[in-house]
Amino acid sequence: MAGGGIPVDGQVNAFSGRITASVVITCIVAASGGLLFGYDIGISGGVTTMAPFLQKFFPSILRKAARAKTNVYCVYDSQTLTSFTSSLYIAGLAASIVAGRLTAALGRRNIMVLGGSIFFAGAAINGGAENVAMLILGRILLGLGVGFTNQATPVYLSEMAPPKWRGAFSTGFQFFIGIGVVTANCVNYGTSRLSWGWRLSLGLAIVPAAIMTLGALSITDTPSSLVERGKLSLAKKSLTKVRGIDTDVEPELADLVKSSEIAKAINKEAFVTIFERQYRPHLVMSIAIPFFQQLTGINIIAFYAPVLFQSVGFGSDSALIAAIILGVVNLGSIVVSTFVVDRYGRRFLFIEGGAQMFICQVAVACVLAAATGTSGTKHISKGDAAVVLTLMCIYAAGFGWSWGPLSWLIPSEIFPMKIRTAGQSISVAVNFGTTFVLSQTFLTMLCHFKYGAFLFYAAWIAAMTVFVVLFVPETKGIPMNSMYVVWEEHWFWRRYVKPQP
């Protein structure tokens, strides 16, 4: 390998950094960016099962539900209803495409503030919506907001964290997504009895938006971003603050300046550079990781948990409770990930989580097949419904400690500075694009494939686990500026990368 000493497990670079109170607080504030995304994911599924909401905006679904005694899988199959959920993802996709350039030019923190403010406006419009147009406009603003925050927050966390604990710090983003989901599920449960409950559910999204926006205003930008934008003295101040005043930050600063000079010397658009052959592994990961994350089927569970449980025979209250249970299990497993990710590594979690999710999806398909009959006309018993819920909980735990947090962590940590924001942009865009297609098609798929929908996801989980085994290198503990080593040493990717100076 070129460039002398191999950085292993954070032993390289004296400036690897330690955990200070300041870095912890800063990263908690930044990670709260996940709240916006999570609240939205959790709120839409529940709101779309509320009768007053459907009555006002999508009355045809209620008429269909009243008639549909035939096939339990098809009641909620409506393109208009799914477009309510998925319009956010199209807007997020659009925002994430410009967000890369903006995050490089204006800094990670400022983009978090911008994203939070736009999300706030979207929440307010949704809460006051009088017609479908207002509803969709609100969703578009929410989407633009998360397009920005999902771009900037993971990069912020990875750049701010001490390398040795980068995994744990970055998991904070997924943790807040999880808190957002559970909060939203509880809010839905509380408001579902009110005729205007849906307004409260949608409007309360202003709370996470305000928390994150005000929080972001109080933190400094990352040293990398400040160096990238030529603000050296601010970068030094920021580094001293997060690494501790008694730490000599000069070597770390010098390293960042060197990376930034290399980036500037290339003087090419990051979006062009990333397509060069030497960045093929990075490009593949920025596309494959978020794509596969969505093909675990998590959002089908996350958005449609209440709808899904109702479809398979839970009452509407118990469907909302089931969604809360799932969310809490998911949250717990993210905490487990925080403790494991920097110790046993990313690959271990990917592989274990993949195996667990695969088994659960296959088992859910078998139970549903047996319980509802091949035509889907039999309503499932309480016992079978409980088995489905348990399996889904085990599945959600598997996701919570693997593809959940790791899909945000890997793209935020593998890129060299010159293509980092471009890489993250691609990754967020792929995440939103895939979520859009899957959420738009799932209820139709459920209607036609019935329990087979779960086998579809099981097959993808098997494929992605093989992909991890063969192509995803271990990145735990490696400082971001030395990340080239993992590709230089990889049996497949080494033929692409150029030796580093």
Q: What are the residues binding ligand BGC (CB under 6 A)? A: 41, 174, 177-178, 181, 293, 298-299, 302, 330, 404, 407, 431, 435
Side-chain half-sphere CA neighbours of 476 within 13 A: 19
The token pair that represents 99 in the structure block: 């967000």
CB of 42 to ligand BGC, least distance (A): 8
Other C-beta atoms closer than 10 Å to the C-beta of 492 total 11
CB of 274 to ligand BGC, least distance (A): 21
CB of 163 to ligand BGC, least distance (A): 22
Give me the helix-helix angle, 33-47 and 21-31, nearest 10°.
Answer: 30
- Residue closer to ligand BGC (CB basis): 31 or 177: 177
CB of 455 to ligand BGC, least distance (A): 21
- Residue closer to ligand BGC (CB basis): 328 or 370: 328
Continuous segment of H or E residues that includes residue 163:
none
Is the distance from CB of 366 to CB of 261 less than 8 angstroms? Answer: no
Q: What are phi and psi of 82, to 5 degrees?
A: -70, -30
- Residue closer to ligand BGC (CB basis): 103 or 185: 185
Is the distance from CB of 211 to CB of 32 less than 8 angstroms? Answer: yes
Side-chain half-sphere CA neighbours of 341 within 13 A: 33
- Residue closer to ligand BGC (CB basis): 103 or 153: 153
Other C-beta atoms closer than 10 Å to the C-beta of 302 total 24
Q: What is the dihedral of CA 471, 292, 158, 497, to 10 degrees?
A: 30
Question: What does the alpha-carbon distance between residue 84 and residue 461 come to, in Å, rounded to a whole number?
Answer: 27
- Residue closer to ligand BGC (CB basis): 147 or 313: 147
Question: What does the alpha-carbon distance between residue 114 and residue 148 come to, in Å, rounded to a whole number?
Answer: 7
- Residue closer to ligand BGC (CB basis): 213 or 431: 431
DSSP symbols for 439-464: HHHHHHHHHHHTTHHHHHHHHHHHHH
CB of 169 to ligand BGC, least distance (A): 16
Question: What does the alpha-carbon distance between residue 485 and residue 30 come to, in Å, rounded to a whole number?
Answer: 29
CB of 412 to ligand BGC, least distance (A): 12
- Residue closer to ligand BGC (CB basis): 75 or 302: 302
CB of 56 to ligand BGC, least distance (A): 26
CB of 239 to ligand BGC, least distance (A): 29
Continuous segment of H or E residues that includes residue 416:
none
CB of 380 to ligand BGC, least distance (A): 25
- Residue closer to ligand BGC (CB basis): 291 or 467: 291
- Residue closer to ligand BGC (CB basis): 141 or 298: 298
Is the distance from CB of 38 to CB of 302 less than 8 angstroms? Answer: no
- Residue closer to ligand BGC (CB basis): 191 or 333: 333
Nearest to 243 by CA among 169, 155, 161: 161
Largest CA distance in the chain: 71
Question: What does the alpha-carbon distance between residue 191 and residue 203 come to, in Å, rounded to a whole number?
Answer: 12
Tell the residue number behind the tokens 């957002």, with chain if given: 180
CB of 425 to ligand BGC, least distance (A): 15
The token pair that represents 298 in the structure block: 């998590």
CB of 99 to ligand BGC, least distance (A): 15
- Residue closer to ligand BGC (CB basis): 405 or 477: 405
Nearest to 461 by CA among 301, 307, 319, 286: 301
